[in-house]
A and B are shown apart, each in its own frame.
Chain A
Amino acid sequence: SAVISQKPSRDICQRGTSLTIQCQVDSQVTMMFWYRQQPGQSLTLIATANQGSEATYESGFVIDKFPISRPNLTFSTLTVSNMSPEDSSIYLCSVVPTGEENTIYFGEGSWLTVV
């Protein structure tokens, strides 16, 4: 199993500012991902966080808007840049633990409201 800690859990942000979300896992994981869940919507994959290299972004998401770091096997950050009200969402970190390649765990999520 994997215990995922996300920070912050909630925040209210001013339009035009940037916020960095942290994801810490208690064990080494094979893969780490970042999702967005807009109000009343399903989860949408933003990108795969690659250790030591640039993240792999899904269609519709770009590095300038959502820079991602993954310096090691247990930690990643997602920055939401130059925020607008449309960025108000829950942002979720997700991992596939080493040795459990058929299991995907989600963090508690970071609920961002942009005003």
Chain B
Amino acid sequence: KNQVEQSPQSLIILEGKNCTLQCNYTVSPFSNLRWYKQDTGRGPVSLTIMTFSENTKSNGRYTATLDADTKQSSLHITASQLSDSASYICVVSGNTGTASKLTFGTGTRLQVTL
């Protein structure tokens, strides 16, 4: 069964600190892995997308890594800001462009405090 597991479930950090969120998946076949940021009550917004051959991809203070051999990904947030408080969702696609092949993680809820 295709699954995406994220850890931790929730996280509280001080403003300015770094943090790393984890994503393990068992989706097969694998096409790509996406990280989304979802503010409370809003739709998810794409941060990064990585294919099988990509090991790392950055988007500003967000850096995602992918190890397709171990089926693990991480999202590193540098110098966190209050506006980073949100849920971060890992989504794995088993087939390019086909939404029915997307497997969603339940997300990591990040809270950045003063």
Q: Contacts A106-B43, A109-B43, A111-B41 hold; do A96 and B97 have CB atoms under 8 A apart?
A: yes
List of A residues within 8 angstroms of B96 by Cβ: 101-102
Q: Distance (Å) between the CB of B5 and the closest chain A CB?
A: 11
B43→A92 contact, CB < 8 A: yes
B43→A45 contact, CB < 8 A: no
List of A residues within 8 angstroms of B42 by Cβ: 108-109
List of B residues within 8 angstroms of A6 by Cβ: 43
Q: Indicate which residue in B32, B41, B45, B99 contacts A45 across the interface (CB closer than 8 Å).
A: B99
Which residue of A is nearest B51, CB measured?
A: A102
A46–B1 Cα distance when bound, in Å, is 19
List of A residues within 8 angstroms of B41 by Cβ: 10, 90, 109, 111
Q: Distance (Å) between the CB of B65 and the closest chain A CB?
A: 19
Chain A 65-115 interface residues, beta-carbon cutoff 8 Å to B: 90, 92, 94, 96, 101-109, 111
Asked whether any CB of chain B lies closer than 8 Å to the CB of A30, the reply is yes
List of B residues within 8 angstroms of A10 by Cβ: 41
A107→B99 contact, CB < 8 A: no
A40–B97 Cα distance when bound, in Å, is 26
Tally of chain A residues near chain B (CB < 8 A): 29
Asked whether any CB of chain B lies closer than 8 Å to the CB of A58, the reply is yes
List of A residues within 8 angstroms of B97 by Cβ: 30-31, 96, 101-102
Q: B29-47 interface mask toward A, CB cutoff 8 Å, 1 = contact, 0 = none?
A: 0001010100001111110
List of A residues within 8 angstroms of B44 by Cβ: 43, 92, 106
Q: Identify the A interface with B (CB < 8 A).
A: 4, 6, 10, 30-31, 33, 40-45, 48, 56, 58, 90, 92, 94, 96, 101-109, 111
22 sampled A-B residue pairs with Cβ under 8 A:
A30-B97, A33-B99, A40-B106, A42-B106, A42-B107, A43-B44, A43-B89, A45-B99, A45-B102, A48-B100, A92-B43, A92-B44, A101-B96, A102-B32, A102-B49, A102-B97, A103-B49, A104-B46, A106-B36, A106-B44, A106-B45, A108-B42
